[in-house]
């Protein structure tokens, strides 16, 4: 069964494998199949589920809520997010203004079929709204009991520090950050992770398999496999293009296979296990379009990768690794 870790400087325990439904529920995967994947996650011991109001323009929350209906609410940790456009995408349908935050939490709760979420996350940093206003809105949500904890996603070290200072003044704390993190994408290591550890935040990382690249199924000089994210015209192909355009990176990923074999892991399991070696990572988010993918990835829970093999991974990937901390700030629109 999946192990638990404590989230940040809080008392909340979450499974170190989180089931997420970005790019799947309400979009790539039919509802019946999505429900089967959620059932597989529950059967494997996963109790932590992550979504966002913007996924499939709110449909992903509805699908997840329906799939979890009938489960004991107290036995689940349900996370969602606010920032990106929803609905008709009007002037106030995005961002972290008080208006959008307070309206969005009510919409998310209705779609998820719950009175509260365990973690409500700022999906990006809002450069167009005063941070004081955003933190006051989150404080209001917490006081209303609509969210038990608050986190952020893809915030820089400086933004996290400023946000935590304001949150503390308002009587709550930020306990998590949700960044992209994988063997190939390590932009949080130099600044975000040390700052988070100091201030009491954990990382809940997305794309630990680099949108599927680290599964080894994308081969250098060959077209992306049919039905893979690399062929998804709804957004998946765009997300993965950074890696697929670099044949040297794809070759180096293939060179990781002997390391996975040595550990008795699949390539995907190795990738998920690798992010969990970072002590500031509380959980790795996995997605699935088939139940068997869930069963495969949860086997990464509890795996310990010896130091010498971690060093070999670094040697194999070399300069294919992206580590510039400035990449984090680029993910939040300036307007």
CATH number at residue 183: 3.20.20.100
What number of other Cβ atoms are within 10 A of residue 32's Cβ? 8
Whether residue 58 has pLDDT greater than 80: yes
Two tokens, residue 201 = 């935040």
Classify residue 3: in a domain, yes or no.
no
pLDDT digits (tens, 9 = 90+) for 5-29: 999 999 999 999 999 998 765 566 6
pLDDT digits (tens, 9 = 90+) for 163-216: 999 999 999 999 999 999 999 999 999 999 999 999 999 999 999 999 899 999
Whether residue 314 has pLDDT greater than 90: yes
Classify residue 2: in a domain, yes or no.
no
> In the structure, what pLDDT confidence band is assigned to residue 246 with cuts at 50, 70 and 90?
confident
CA neighbor of 86 nearest in space, from 120, 60, 66: 60
Whether residue 324 has pLDDT greater than 70: yes
Whether residue 226 has pLDDT greater than 80: no
User: In this predicted structure, what is the pLDDT of residue 109?
Assistant: 98
What number of other Cβ atoms are within 10 A of residue 307's Cβ? 9
CA neighbor of 149 nearest in space, from 282, 30, 256: 282
Classify residue 4: in a domain, yes or no.
no
55 is catalytic: yes
Predicted TM-score (pTM) of this structure: 0.94
Classify residue 137: in a domain, yes or no.
yes
Structural domain boundaries, residue 137: 12-330
d(CA 303, CA 260): 12
Residue pair 334/201 in contact by the 8 Å Cβ criterion: no
d(CA 42, CA 131): 37
CA neighbor of 83 nearest in space, from 72, 74, 92: 92
Classify residue 126: in a domain, yes or no.
yes
pLDDT digits (tens, 9 = 90+) for 118-157: 999 999 999 999 999 999 999 999 999 999 999 999 999 9
Classify residue 6: in a domain, yes or no.
no
Two tokens, residue 213 = 């690249």
Tokens 């790019």 correspond to 23
Classify residue 67: in a domain, yes or no.
yes
Average pLDDT, the chain: 93
Considering only CA atoms, give the Rg of the chain: 19
Which of the following is catalytic: 19, 55, 149, 181? Answer: 55
Classify residue 131: in a domain, yes or no.
yes
User: In this predicted structure, what is the pLDDT of residue 52?
Assistant: 97
Domain count within the chain: 1
User: In this predicted structure, what is the pLDDT of residue 206?
Assistant: 97
User: In this predicted structure, what is the pLDDT of residue 89?
Assistant: 87
């Amino acid at each position: 069964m999946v192990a638990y870790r404590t989230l940040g400087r809080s008392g909340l325990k979450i499974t170190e494998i989180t089931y997420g439904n970005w790019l799947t529920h309400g979009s790539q995967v039919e509802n019946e199949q999505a429900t089967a994947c959620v059932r597989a996650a529950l059967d494997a011991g996963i109790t932590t589920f992550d979504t966002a109001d913007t996924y499939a323009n709110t449909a992903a929350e509805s699908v997840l809520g329906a799939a979890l209906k009938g489960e004991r609410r107290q036995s689940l940790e349900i996370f969602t997010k606010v920032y990106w456009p929803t609905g008709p995408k009007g002037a106030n349908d995005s961002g972290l203004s008080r208006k959008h935050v307070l309206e969005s939490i009510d919409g998310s709760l209705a779609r998820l079929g719950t009175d509260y979420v365990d973690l409500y996350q700022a999906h990006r940093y809002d450069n167009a709204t005063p941070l004081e206003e955003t933190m006051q809105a989150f404080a209001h949500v917490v006081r209303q009991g609509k969210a038990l904890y608050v986190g952020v996603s893809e915030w820089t070290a400086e933004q996290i520090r400023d946000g935590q200072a304001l949150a503390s003044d308002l009587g709550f704390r930020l306990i998590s950050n949700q960044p992209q993190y994988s063997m190939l994408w390590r932009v949080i290591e130099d600044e975000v992770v040390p700052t988070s550890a100091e201030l009491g935040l954990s990382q809940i990382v997305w794309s630990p398999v680099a949108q599927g690249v680290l599964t080894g199924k994308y081969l250098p000089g060959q077209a992306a496999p049919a039905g893979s994210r690399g062929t998804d015209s709804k957004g998946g192909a765009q997300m993965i293009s950074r890696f697929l355009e670099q044949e040297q990176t794809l070759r180096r990923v293939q060179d990781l296979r002997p390391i996975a074999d040595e550990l008795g892991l699949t390539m995907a399991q190795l990738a998920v296990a690798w992010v969990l070696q970072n002590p500031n990572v509380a959980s790795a988010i996995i997605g699935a379009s088939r139940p068997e993918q869930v069963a495969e990835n949860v086997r990464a829970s509890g795996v310990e990768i010896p130091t010498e093999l971690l060093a070999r991974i670094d040697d194999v990937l070399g300069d294919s690794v992206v580590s510039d901390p400035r990449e984090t700030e680029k993910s939040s629109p300036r307007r």
